[in-house]
Structure 1
Amino acid sequence: MSLGGSIILVAVGAILAFATDWHMKGVNLDLVGWILMIVGLIGVFVFRSVGRRRGVPPNHTTVIEDGPERRY
């Protein structure tokens, strides 16, 4: 899940939890909103932790010369 998707989940969850006044039979929209917000926040934290790992520079290629015909 990307950062944008996580933020959208948090925003939709907040709208369902705080800004709606709908009542659906068998569905608690407040609870659905809270669940979406929690999942969105988990997505933000996972994205941040993965993003920190990607900040590490990649391994450099090592060139080994062993005689005139062998190069790696």
Structure 2
Amino acid sequence: MGIGIGILLLVIGLILVLDAITLPDSVTDVIDAQMIGWICVIVGALSLVLVVVMNQQRSKTRHIEERREG
């Protein structure tokens, strides 16, 4: 997951948690929007943390070129 997907999940989750939009009754009968919202918030936050950690590890990686004659 990239940083864009993490931010998108975070925004969608916050919209669902804060009831910024009202979902139709046919949807709310099937799913709990707040629970789905919290799941999206958690997954989005974890995604952002993983992206930061992975990018930091990439910047610390060194490449050594070895030449052998023979």
Structure 2: unaligned runs, 5 residues or longer: none
2: CA distance between counterparts of 1:38 and 1:4?
A: 15
Q: How many residues align?
A: 66
Q: For the pair shown, which has the larger CA radius of gyration, 1 or 2? A: 1
Report deviation, 1:32.
Answer: 0.8
Please report the TM-score for the alignment, with normalisation by the length of structure 2: 0.81
2: CA distance between counterparts of 1:51 and 1:42?
A: 14
Q: Higher RCO, 1 or 2 (CA under 8 Å, sep at least 6)? A: 2
The RMSD of aligned alpha carbons is 1.5
Structure 1: unaligned runs, 5 residues or longer: none
Runs of 4+ residues deviating >3 angstroms? none
More helix by share: 2
What is the percent sequence identity of the aligned residues?
A: 24
Please report the TM-score for the alignment, with normalisation by the length of structure 1: 0.79
1:15 aligns with: 15
1: CA distance between counterparts of 2:21 and 2:56?
A: 36
